[in-house]
Amino acid sequence: MDKERYTTSEAASILNVAPSTLRYWESELENFLDIPRNDNGYRQYTENNIATLQKIRTYLYEQKYSIKQVREILNLEESKQDIAAALVGETDERLSSLVSVLLDRITDVEDGIKELKKGQNTLKQEYLQAVKLLNITSERRDRELIQEIRKRLDQKKEQHNSLLKRLLPWTKNND
């Protein structure tokens, strides 16, 4: 990214999304996206806008959050920055270190949430594999059961043919 301002099409190309997607994100997350416009009213994306949109894209497409969840995450991030900025002005070192620890804890919780989401996806994949194996096992069992039934029917048929030959020796039974 070498330019200062990007059109909607250029920004969409950088982010690998449709221009309409960018407009939708802007309508849903307008508090976090301050996209300037030129004299003709066209959007002019800045480097910061692109960075924020990349973060939004990651949350939506890679981490599979909903737009509502992304809004909440961005609110939390903004709150963290506001708290940090307010405390930077504080002279009490103990308070600053406490805030730093709290912000680290928040980051740890966020990382934990990401790990839980990954684990959830892994469990989902393992569950689908188990269901697939159960279906295969069930099909195999059904085939074996059908073979056993056919075998027993053949045995019964043979017994009946044998009985018919003994009882009615003058008939020809060619089954």
Residues 54, 44 contacting (CB under 8 angstroms): no
pLDDT for 90 equals 54
pLDDT in tens, 52-67: 999 999 999 988 888 9
From 104, 103, 107, select the one nearest 87 (Cα to Cα): 103
Q: What CATH number matches the domain at 1-66, 1.10.1660.10, 2.30.42.10, 3.20.20.70, 3.40.190.10?
A: 1.10.1660.10
pLDDT at 80 over 90: no
Domain boundary assignment for the chain:
1-66
Helix (H) or strand (E) holding 82: helix 67-88
Q: Considering the entire predicted model, what is its pTM?
A: 0.50
Q: What tokens were used for 42?
A: 């066209």
pLDDT in tens, 88-115: 655 566 677 777 888 888 888 888 888 8
